[in-house]
């Protein structure tokens, strides 16, 4: 268990062990999430955003028939220029 004290203006020093577990670096944003039981969980907002994006895009490559980097480039060109290119 780790303990931190909040200053009068709301500043809290996150204990080193917690910073390491959350892979926090200077300037990172913390995400506070209220869980169903009312407890508040703290997470690294950057890692949470990446995890959500990975979950959201899961299966997208198959949906767009993307097999390699050239397929990605063709898809980018199609979106960017509004043209289909031969694959």
Q: Give tens-digit pLDDT for 48-86.
A: 767 777 777 777 777 777 788 888 888 788 888 886 655
The confidence score (pLDDT) of residue 4 equals 93
Which stretches does DSSP call E strand in 1-87? 30-34, 40-44
Residue 69 and residue 19: Cα distance in Å, rounded?
A: 36
14 touches 26 (CB < 8 A) = no
Token output for 16: 């080193």
Mean pLDDT of the chain, nearest integer: 84
């Amino acid at each position: 268990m780790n303990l931190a004290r909040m200053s009068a203006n709301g500043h809290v020093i996150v204990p080193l062990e917690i910073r390491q577990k959350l892979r926090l670096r200077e300037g990172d944003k913390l995400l506070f999430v209220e869980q169903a039981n009312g407890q508040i969980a703290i997470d690294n907002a950057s890692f949470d955003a990446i995890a959500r994006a990975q979950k959201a895009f899961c299966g997208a490559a198959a949906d767009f028939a993307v097999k390699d980097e050239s397929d990605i480039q063709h898809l980018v060109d199609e979106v960017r220029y509004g043209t289909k290119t031969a694959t």
